[in-house]
């Protein structure tokens, strides 16, 4: 890869992903992690540090919570790109040199990937605003209560309706983010393409493989949730495997003309 401006890549053909292939890509992700564990631990440690920072620093400081929450969507995609680049090099038989892989990650700052982070940030800000509005909508008529310490408010009919409403709307927002990013980020690393086209292609992949990619989303959600329980430390293993697996999923979902 060079810093020269290249011609835009041809449009890919969207393939069909089977349920069996999900286990194949997970196995491939685990294989890549075992072949290059230091890279996986290095890039996944970013997410662990951010998670711990949000918990420890953000717990008592609104400013830290805001800074970390707003910065994470902008920077997180670059850590994922590092994992994709490692898998790409393993696939091609290229050497795994720290300087070269980090140079690829650094180069992405001037390409299309930051726009993906910006889109995620906009969605995050919208969801944060919407969540606060729904809190006022469902609990606004109740006596002023500190919901961080007075959990009984959620046992009321209004509180239960709020929980159900935010689970549904939050799930839809998460599904949107998943749909626009599931293959767009490895696609932007691998090909010369603008971020809007990449997101549209990602959404078309999800539409073509709805059932299978919903299962994949569920696998990601369950594994990440379990990995977060022991102080986020499980993410050191789960995130590299999922990152490498996502690369292999992308390679099976899209086919480019030779």
Domain definitions of the chain by residue range:
14-112+182-255
Angle at 54 between CA 52 and CA 58, to 5 degrees: 130
Residue 254, SS3 per DSSP = strand
Residue 132 has pLDDT above 80, yes or no: no
Q: What is the pLDDT of residue 9?
A: 78
Max Cα distance, the chain (Å): 66
Residues 6 or more apart whose CB falls under 8 angstroms from that of 63 comprise none
The pair of structure tokens assigned to 81 is 């790109």
Q: What is the pLDDT of residue 61?
A: 55
pLDDT bucket at 7, cuts 50 / 70 / 90: confident
Other residues' Cβ atoms within 10 Å of the Cβ of residue 61: 12
As a whole number of angstroms, the distance between CA 245 and CA 205 comes to: 16
- The pTM for the full model equals 0.84
The pair of structure tokens assigned to 98 is 């720290």
If phi > 0 it is left, if psi is from -120 to 50 it is alpha, else beta; for residue 231 that is: left
Average pLDDT, the chain: 84
Residue 14, SS3 per DSSP = strand
204-254 confidence digits (pLDDT tens): 999 999 999 999 999 998 998 888 887 788 889 999 999 999 999 999 999
Nearest 5°: phi and psi at 193?
-160, 145
Lowest-confidence segment of 150-159, 198-207, 219-228 by average pLDDT: 150-159
């Amino acid at each position: 890869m060079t810093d020269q401006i290249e011609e835009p890549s041809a449009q890919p053909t969207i393939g069909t992903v089977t349920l069996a292939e999900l286990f194949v890509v997970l196995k491939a992700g685990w294989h890549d992690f075992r072949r290059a564990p230091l890279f996986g631990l290095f890039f996944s440690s970013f997410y662990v540090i951010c998670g711990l920072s949000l918990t420890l620093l953000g717990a008592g400081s609104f400013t830290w919570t805001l800074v970390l929450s707003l910065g994470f969507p902008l920077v997180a995609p670059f850590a994922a790109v590092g994992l994709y680049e490692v898998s790409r090099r393993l696939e091609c038989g290229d050497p795994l040199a720290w300087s070269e892989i980090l140079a690829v990650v650094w180069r992405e700052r001037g390409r299309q990937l930051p726009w993906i982070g910006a889109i995620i940030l906009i969605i995050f800000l919208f969801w944060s605003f919407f969540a606060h509005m729904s809190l006022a909508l469902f609990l606004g008529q109740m006596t002023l209560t500190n919901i961080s310490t007075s959990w009984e408010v959620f046992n009321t009919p209004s509180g239960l309706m709020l929980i159900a409403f935010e689970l549904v709307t939050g799930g839809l927002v998460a599904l949107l983010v998943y749909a626009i990013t599931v293959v767009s980020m490895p696609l932007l690393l691998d090909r010369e393409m603008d971020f809007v086209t990449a997101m549209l292609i990602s959404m078309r992949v999800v539409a073509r493989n709805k059932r299978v990619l919903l299962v994949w989303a569920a696998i990601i959600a369950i594994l990440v949730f379990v990995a977060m329980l022991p102080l986020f430390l499980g993410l050191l293993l789960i995130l590299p495997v999922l990152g490498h697996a996502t690369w292999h999923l992308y390679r099976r979902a899209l086919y480019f003309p030779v």
